[in-house]
Structures are given as C-alpha cells and as structure tokens.
Amino acid sequence: MKNKLLNWFIWVAVLGGILLGTCILSLAIGSSEISFKKIIPLLLEGKGTAEYSILFNLRLPRIILGFAIGGALSLAGVMLQGMFRNPLVEPYTLGISGGAALGVCLNIVLRLNHTLGILSLPISGFIGALTVILLVYFLTLRKGLLKVQGLLLTGVMISFICSSLLMFIMAVSRAEDLHGIVFWIMGSLEEPNWLLIKAAVWVSLLGLFLSYLFSLHLNAFSLGEDEAKSLGINTERIKSLLFIFSSLLTGLSVSICGVIGFVGLVIPHFMRLLVGGDHRLLLISSYLGGAIFLILCDTFARTIISPLELPVGVITGILGGILFIYALTKKQLVLGEK
C-alpha cells in the first residue's frame, strides 16, 4: 500500500511539474517573446509596462482558462468512459456541445448579445447544453432505469439533429454573423472577462473534488454493472449522478470556450496507458493531463502562424488525433487494462 501511495504521489508530482513548466513556457512564448528570467519580476513589480500588460491581460487569462477547461473536459471524459465502459465515449458524444453551439448561434443570429451584453453568449450556450442534457436524460429514463446504451444512442441522435439545425442557421445567416459562429464553433481561449474565468476555475476545481466521491464507484463499474450491484452500489442512482455531473462540466466548458474537441477523448486514454485504470489516480492525472494538453495546444494556436491566430480546436484535433492513433497502436483501449 505504501508503494502504491508513493507511486501515486510521484505521478501527481511529475504531472504537476510538467504543468508548471508548460505555464511558464506559454507565458514566455508569443509574437512578443519575453525572457524566462523576466516573467516573475514582471508579474510582481512590472505593473504599467507593455510586457506586464501582455503577460497579465493576454497570456495569463488564457493559461488559467486552459487549465480549468482542459481539466474539466478530461474529467468529464474519464467519468463518462468509466460509466459506459466504452473508451470511445467523450463528453461531446452525448450532444452537449451541439446544444451549446445551437444556443450560442441563436444568440448571435438574433443579436441578443448586442442588447443583453457579451455575457449572454456563454449563458445562451449553457442553457442550450442544459436543455440537451435534460432531453437526453428524460428520453432515456424508463421506469426509473437509465440504460447506458440507450443514453449513448439518444445522445448521438440529438447531436446529429443539433448539427443539422446549426448548418441550417449558418446557411441563412448574414455574412457578418457567420464569421462569429464559425470561429466560436472551432473553440478559443480568448476570454477577457475575469468573472467567467474565475467561475470556470472554481467550477472545475469543485468538479475535481466532487469526482472523488465517485472514484470507487467507477472502479466497480469497470468490473461490470452486475458486479457493481453485487458490491452494494445503487447503480441507477450513480449512473444518473455521473451523467448529470459530467454533462454540466462539459456544458460549462463549451459555453465559455466553444467546441474544443478530443480533450475528453484522448487524454483519459493516454493517462490510462501511463498510470493504469484505478480512478483514484486516473481522475487527478487526467485533470492535470488535460490542462497541460490544452495550454500547449493554445500556445501552438497563437504562435504557429504568428501574428495570426488559429482556433485552438484546430490544434487539439490534429494533436489529439495523433495521440489517439498512438493509443490504438498500443491495443490498450479496454478500460483498466495496463
């Protein structure tokens, strides 16, 4: 047991160190490069300078948001894959991103953001995501039972419907609205509102804390639903809580940053290859891994064709696809296999 705890501590420490190094790298790299030696003095005493403004107003908010959103999406992916016992399930499979995108697109087309303010965009996205969550849940619930396969199929169909409605809206939209819709769909961490950033961080960290209430249940689910029942677990209640909890984390992430794919699919796979299938370690490892991955992708997105910027969803798609192919070659996509 002591060796296991030591192993867990080492993995968390290593991932934490990589995350810290990634944050420092992201602060230093950009169209205006800043020396590593200058970063801490600038943050502490450089107020009023152009370099301080670049660090504090442009790069630091993106890093903090990348930490929160990357962690939340990976956490949601781990919980959904554990519940479904299906390594191909990700947060967006259940139609949550489609609902959020539809809500934001309707907001843009109806010009609600001009009358209600910029905060109406994430609020509309969250309302859209919440609508899909409730729709999928109640369409699947039968006599108090939540069938996971029915939940997955319903989510996929709702996702297709939302995508079709989204394409219809884009087809009839004005040219000036179309650009905003397309850029939002591809995802971005460019969010200047500190209220939203702080909300994302607190919800993400709270999600990490609460996820540990389900860590042993997820370990039991990896053995099969019947085995989990034999261990005294109320599987229907736990499935409902896991679905709603992970969906809300995803809905919040999508409503703030748009659709950023592959994080919740690839990172849990990659972490499972590294640390194994025990969710007591896998949850925190995936959270840190997701944060590292998204911050790195955002750094590439804003520097690879500098001074122009790519949507971060483009980079996560490319790098995530490469990592996923690597995971496939390892032939270890069965949950819990080491």
How many domains, the chain?
1
Mean pLDDT of 102-121: 79
Residue 209, pLDDT score: 95
Residue 338, pLDDT score: 42
73 close to 264: Cβ distance less than 8 angstroms? yes
Residue 70 counted as domain residue: yes
Residue 212, pLDDT score: 94
Q: What would the pLDDT profile of 61-75 be if each residue is shown by its tens digit?
A: 999 999 999 999 999
Residue 175, pLDDT score: 75
Residue 32 counted as domain residue: no
Displacement of CA 86 from its chain's centroid (Å): 18
Mean pLDDT of 128-132: 87
**Which CATH number characterizes residue 124's domain?**
1.10.3470.10
Does pLDDT of 288 surpass 70? yes
pTM of the model: 0.88
Residue 323 counted as domain residue: yes
Does pLDDT of 223 surpass 90? no
Does pLDDT of 187 surpass 70? yes
CA–CA separation, 134 and 131 (whole Å): 5
The encoded tokens of residue 253 equal 């992430």
Is residue 213 helix, strand or coil? Answer: coil
Residue 52 counted as domain residue: no
Q: What would the pLDDT profile of 133-161 be if each residue is shown by its tens digit?
A: 888 888 887 756 677 778 888 888 888 89
Note down the domain range covering 137.
Answer: 65-330
pLDDT above 70 as % of the chain: 93
Residue 186 counted as domain residue: yes
Residue 337 counted as domain residue: no
200 close to 211: Cβ distance less than 8 angstroms? no
Is residue 30 helix, strand or coil? Answer: coil
Mean pLDDT of 209-226: 89
Length of the chain: 338
Q: What would the pLDDT profile of 20-30 be if each residue is shown by its tens digit?
A: 999 988 988 87
Task: Please state the φ and ψ torsions of residue 145, each to the nearest 5 degrees.
Answer: -110, 140
Does pLDDT of 287 surpass 90? yes
Does pLDDT of 245 surpass 50? yes
Mean pLDDT of 242-256: 87
Residue 98 counted as domain residue: yes
Residue 244 counted as domain residue: yes
- The average confidence (pLDDT) of the chain is 84
